[in-house]
């Protein structure tokens, strides 16, 4: 007598790349496309837990909420582009108030500033910016 085997339903979960992996891929794309002379990556990540190092960064102008990338070329509408990377799964997560405030300030002063969720979103936003679609 043969017994039926139960059907196993496996849950599949999408693997979400880290913010570091996404920004690294974006930077590689920037370099391949020839934009690296005009894109600035800001050193705003916590590099270790050393209190003196963090204080030293703040002493030379680093401040909380600084966005990740700046493209220093104007398009037809804006003076420049600022991008703040977040992981793809953080689209509905509350953002740091310092970053929200800086994005609002940049928008008021003629820059395009926004959150991007992963490398693909960053590339699409960048292309839309340079092609004057935003």
Q: Collapse the DSSP code of 113 into the 3-class scheme (helix H, G, I; strand E, B; otherwise coil) and give the result.
A: strand
CATH of the domain at 112: 3.40.1350.10
> For residue 114, is it within any domain?
yes
Q: By three-state DSSP, how is residue 91 classified?
A: coil
pTM, entire model: 0.81
- Residue 83 or residue 41, greater confidence: 83
Q: For 67-79, what is the mean pLDDT? A: 96
91: domain range?
66-130
pLDDT tens digit sequence for 26-69: 999 999 999 999 998 876 555 556 777 777 777 877 777 889 99
Q: How far, in Å, CA of 54 to CA of 105, rounded?
A: 25
Domains identified in the chain, total number: 1
């Amino acid at each position: 007598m043969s017994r039926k085997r139960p059907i196993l339903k496996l849950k599949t979960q999408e693997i979400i790349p880290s913010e570091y992996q996404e920004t690294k891929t974006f930077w590689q794309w920037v370099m391949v496309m020839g934009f690296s002379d005009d894109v600035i990556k800001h050193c705003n990540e916590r590099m270790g837990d050393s209190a003196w190092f963090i204080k030293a960064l703040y002493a030379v102008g680093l401040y909380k909420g600084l966005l990740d990338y700046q493209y220093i070329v104007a398009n037809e509408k804006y003076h420049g582009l600022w991008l703040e990377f977040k992981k793809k799964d953080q689209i509905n997560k509350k953002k740091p108030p310092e970053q929200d405030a800086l994005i609002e300030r940049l928008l008021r002063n003629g820059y395009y500033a926004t959150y991007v969720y992963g490398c693909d979103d960053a590339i699409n936003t960048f292309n839309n910016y340079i092609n004057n679609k935003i």
